[in-house]
Amino acid sequence: MKATFGGGCFWCTEAVFEHVEGVSSVQSGYMGGKRENPTYEQVCTGSTGHAEVIEIKYDPEKVSYIDLLSVFFQTHDPTTLNRQGNDIGTQYRSVVFYHGSEQKSAVLDMIGELEKSNVYKNPIVTQVEPVQKFWAAENYHDSYFRQNPQNPYCQAVIAPKVQAFLKEYKNKIK
């Protein structure tokens, strides 16, 4: 099965989901824009309409789509429009690209439950859209955090997210 999430910088979301039990692969890429075969540099301008996303392949016998959604909503801020921390632009928007009606219902239900329970101080602005063409990011983005743990961005932004995830989700880690 596949799930596709945009939670800001794909390096951050990839680093978290690589640890989830039942996830067999996480691929960084781009979705939701107008340009064919976009590059990282083009997407970073915000002019292509693409979001930085991750495409997750998972085993539903080991991890449910609901569990993946839960991790997604708890490891980024779904209440900031076109922004995650200091990353600003439409390419960093919070978005779920659903693969079929079951995923669409699940994400809309989860957003409704989160809104009802006032988990977040501000309204959720996560976009929910049907899956579109996935454009794989350039190879140097693969497992970026694992390959570049000393990078200042990785240390300041990604490492704390991964550590918080590992602490919170001990029973869901590979």
CA atoms within 13 A on the CB side of 52: 29
Give ∠ CA 171-173-174 in degrees, rounded to 5: 130
> In whole angstroms, how large is the CA radius of gyration of the chain?
15
Q: Report how far residue 101's alpha carbon sits from residue 131's, in angstroms, rounded to the nearest whole number.
A: 11
**Regarding beta strands 127-130 and 94-98, do their DSSP bridges make them parallel or antiparallel, or are they unpaired?**
parallel
Q: Is residue 44 annotated as part of the catalytic site, yes or no?
A: no
The span from the CA of 91 to the CA of 144, in Å, is 18
Residue 118, burial from CB neighbour count under 10 angstroms (0-12, 13-18, 19+): exposed
Choose the catalytic residue: 9, 12, 44, 154: 9
Q: Among all residues, which ones are annotated catalytic?
A: 9
